[in-house]
Amino acid sequence: MKQKVSHRIFEELERAVIIGDVKKAKRCAEGILNQKSSIDRAIGVLMKAMRVVDQLYERKEYFVIDVASSASAMREAFKIFEPYIKVEPAMVKGKIIIGSLKGNIQGLGKDIVAATLQSAGFQVVNLGVDVNPEEFVKAAFREEAQIIAISISMEETIQYLKDVVEMLKRENLEKRIKVIIGGNAVSEKVRKRYGLDAYAKDANEALTKVKALLS
């Protein structure tokens, strides 16, 4: 019986995020903690829910206000789980600039990656969503960061990676500042196309790749 309740609460969490029910998403997250259920599974449910929201937005079934409501529900649930994210501390030090690229208006994956990197001991500057290419580079220079992490969930915005690369070259920063990408819309193929330093499919892989880039 307990297993059925546990499974149902994950389904309810997913639905709450999709429809943007902030209060219910928070209640479900608290219930999952009380049941001592898997935090990794819960975060996976949040990511799945926001992928559905992305698809609804792309099909024009959702508008910006709907995405914003879902993102708010996701963030409230994620706040409940964030203190319980456990990762192995990094032996290397570094500062990372992270954000969702121009045109990307939800940042679940980005926020999870940021929390994972912070839990490992890295300094993380989160620029938020819909970030212009030049702001990534300006922030990295201003903060003396070693890595720019870019999240992309909308395929039509991939083209803006070119602006990041060109600006780094123009400012002679391409060797000093590494770029890692992630998100539903990108892949290893995209990384190679734009000559970037790394691609990560999830938060754990992002942590591994960041450690490698800094060492």
- Domain tally for the chain? 2
Q: What is the mean pLDDT of residues 189-204?
A: 95
Is residue 90 domain-resident?
Answer: no
Of residues 109 and 188, which shows the higher confidence score?
A: 188
Does 79 have pLDDT greater than 70? yes
Query: What share of the chain in percent tops pLDDT 70?
Result: 97
Tell which residue, 104, 215, 205, has the closest CA to residue 154. 104
Which residue matches tokens 């734009």?
194
Instruction: State the pLDDT at residue 64.
Output: 80
Assigned domain for 89 exists: no
How far apart (Å, rounded) are the C-alpha atoms in residues 54 and 154?
A: 8
For residue 137, what pLDDT is reported? 98
Domain that holds residue 15: 2-84
Note whether 37 and 105 are same-domain residues.
no
Q: Do 100 and 170 lie in a common domain?
A: yes
Cα separation, 173 vs 152, whole angstroms: 22
Q: Is residue 186 in a domain? A: yes
120 and 202 assigned to the same domain: yes
- DSSP class of residue 43 equals H
Share the mean pLDDT of the chain: 90
Domain C-terminal end among 27, 53, 84: 84
Closest CA to 184 of 196, 198, 202, 197: 202
- 126: three-class secondary structure by DSSP: strand
Q: Please report the pLDDT score of residue 177 as a whole number.
A: 97
